[in-house]
């Protein structure tokens, strides 16, 4: 079975390609490489022992997306394509509304058009890459899927709007099967060290920043806030290994294909770790000291955010199983083998 991955050359998409192939599916990567590297395809071929099919183009080109759907007739579509930097979304909201919401509208219209034209081709199962950001500043933790949603930045707003669009499409066409996956904090890398997180410019997120300090690309980490009401005063998050996340996507797809029912689940470990605990785990994984300075809180940050992953376990039979130390060990292996990400590194 072909599975189309929009943004499939990105961080989560590339790792999901591996998990899909290992589960017997045939991933087809759709990407314009605006926020990823063509080198990822070569790395995936090394991991899988065979090439991954690539469709290079822009998801906003609806007619082209229709051609891709007709060419590959995927049993499922996984929608990763979109911009995801919270800070950038505050500075450039229209870029985020255009690319994330406009891109999703284009994809959904292409899917609906091909389905209507071909009739017999059942509407593919759609897995959407959502985010815990839709919970805004949660009133308590752990977070369940029925918590109220809100947005504190344009990026999170786009995820919330796309979730609502998917709900409206399902109400209009009940044969659509949609799985909404709300990620907490994906970190780490495939254990081969061949693929991993490779943010453009200065990393917004904690883990890539810390591993870049460890490898000598950054001088020191700024710890944003040390006066939060947490066990050590620094922010607590639900870090989840990207391979656990990828396996969660496969479980979600299999449920959509077999049970045919739509759902929304959190993909997290249900555990919270602080910034300083992550720093110590990377020091242990790398054997390198991580210099840091305590800095003021970052605007928009919350003290604690971690999942209640019960529904994913009960509905999908999926549970994250890799530890924080596994995440840091695999993140370090990727970073140390690829100090400048895909621009250099051991191919």
Contact positions with ligand WQD (CB under 6 A) in 71-90: 84, 86
Residue 237 engages ligand WQD in binding (rule: CB under 6 A): yes
**Segment 293-312, which members bind ligand WQD (CB under 6 A)?**
298, 301
Q: Per DSSP, which regions of 196-328 are E strands? A: 221-224, 236-237, 239-241, 263-267, 273-274, 292-295, 304-305
185 lies in the binding site for ligand WQD (CB under 6 A) = yes
Alpha carbon distance 180, 262 (integer Å): 8
Nearer to ligand WQD, 151 or 319 (CB): 151
343 in the Ramachandran plot: left (φ > 0), alpha (ψ -120 to 50) or beta? alpha
Please give the Cα distance from 44 to 25 (Å, whole number): 14
Minimum distance between the CB of residue 301 and ligand WQD, rounded to whole angstroms?
5
Q: How far apart are CA 247 and CA 253, in angstroms?
A: 10
State which of residues 224, 233, 294, 339 lies at the interface with ligand WQD (CB under 6 A).
Answer: 224
Which residues have CB under 8 Å from 65's CB, separation 6+?
Answer: 30, 57, 59, 106, 107, 110
Binding window for ligand WQD (CB under 6 A); candidates: 93-101, 164-172, 205-213, 265-273: 205-213
Smallest separation, CB 116 to ligand WQD (Å): 32
β-partners of residue 267 are 183
Q: Map the footprint of ligand WQD across residues 309-338, applying CB under 6 A.
A: none
Q: What residues contact residue 310 under an 8 Å CB cut-off, 6+ apart? A: 144, 270
11 near ligand WQD (CB under 6 A):
no
Q: Is 249 in the site for ligand WQD (CB under 6 A)?
A: no
Give the span between the Cα atoms of 29 and 74, in whole angstroms.
11
Q: Judged by CB under 6 A, which of 21, 28, 54, 206 binds ligand WQD?
A: 206
204 binds ligand WQD (CB under 6 A): yes
Q: Which is nearer to ligand WQD, 24 or 216 (CB)?
A: 216
Closest by Cα among 45, 48, 60, 141 to 347: 45
Catalytic residue among 135, 155, 209, 228: 155
- In the complex, minimum distance from the CB of residue 93 to ligand WQD, in angstroms, rounded to a whole number: 15
Give the number of residues in contact with ligand WQD, rule: CB under 6 A.
20
153: number of CA atoms within 13 Å, CB side?
21
Binding string, 43-62, against ligand WQD, x = CB under 6 A? --------------------
- Contact between residue 332 and residue 339 where contact means Cβ atoms under 8 Å apart: no
Task: Tell me which residue of 147, 127, 142, 15 sits closest to 76, measured CA to CA.
Answer: 127
Query: With binding defined as CB under 6 A, does residue 222 bind ligand WQD?
Result: yes
> Of the listed pieces 19-27, 143-151, 203-211, 330-338, which binds ligand WQD according to CB under 6 A?
203-211
Q: Is 209 a catalytic residue?
A: no
Active site (catalytic) residues: 155
Chain residues binding ligand WQD by CB under 6 A are 84, 86, 131, 133, 183, 185, 204-206, 209, 221-225, 235, 237, 275, 298, 301
């Amino acid at each position: 079975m072909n599975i189309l991955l929009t943004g499939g050359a990105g961080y989560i998409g590339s790792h999901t390609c591996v998990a899909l192939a290992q589960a017997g599916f045939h991933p087809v990567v759709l990407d314009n490489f605006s926020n990823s590297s063509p080198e990822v395809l070569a790395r995936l071929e090394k991991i899988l022992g065979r090439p991954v099919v690539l469709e290079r183009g822009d998801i906003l080109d609806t007619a082209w997306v229709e051609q891709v759907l007709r060419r590959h007739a995927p049993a499922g579509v996984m929608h990763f394509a979109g911009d995801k930097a919270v800070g950038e979304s505050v500075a450039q909201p229209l870029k985020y509304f255009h690319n994330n919401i406009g891109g999703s509208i284009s994809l959904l219209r292409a899917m609906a058009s091909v389905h209507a034209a071909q009739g017999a081709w059942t509407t593919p199962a759609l897995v959407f890459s959502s985010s815990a950001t839709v919970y805004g500043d949660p009133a308590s933790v752990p977070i369940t899927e029925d918590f109220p949603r809100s947005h504190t930045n344009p990026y999170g707003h786009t995820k919330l709007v796309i979730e609502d669009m998917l709900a409206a499409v399902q109400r209009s066409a009940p044969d659509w099967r949609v799985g909404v996956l709300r990620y907490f904090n994906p970190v780490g890398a495939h254990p081969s060290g061949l693929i991993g997180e490779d943010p453009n410019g200065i990393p917004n997120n904690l883990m890539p920043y810390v591993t870049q300090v460890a490898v000598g690309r950054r001088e020191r980490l700024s710890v944003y806030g040390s006066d939060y009401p947490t066990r050590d005063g620094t922010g607590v998050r639900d870090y989840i290994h990207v391979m656990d996340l990828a396996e969660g996507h496969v479980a979600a797809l299999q449920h959509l294909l077999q049970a045919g029912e739509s759902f929304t689940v959190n993909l997290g470990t249900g555990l919270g770790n602080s910034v300083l605990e992550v720093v110590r785990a990377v020091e242990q994984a790398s054997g390198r000291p991580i210099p840091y300075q305590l800095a003021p809180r970052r605007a928009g940050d919350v003290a604690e955010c971690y999942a209640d992953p019960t529904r994913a376990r009960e509905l999908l039979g999926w549970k994250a199983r890799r530890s924080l130390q596994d995440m840091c060990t695999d993140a370090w292996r990727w970073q140390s083998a690829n100090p400048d990400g895909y621009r250099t590194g051991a191919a």
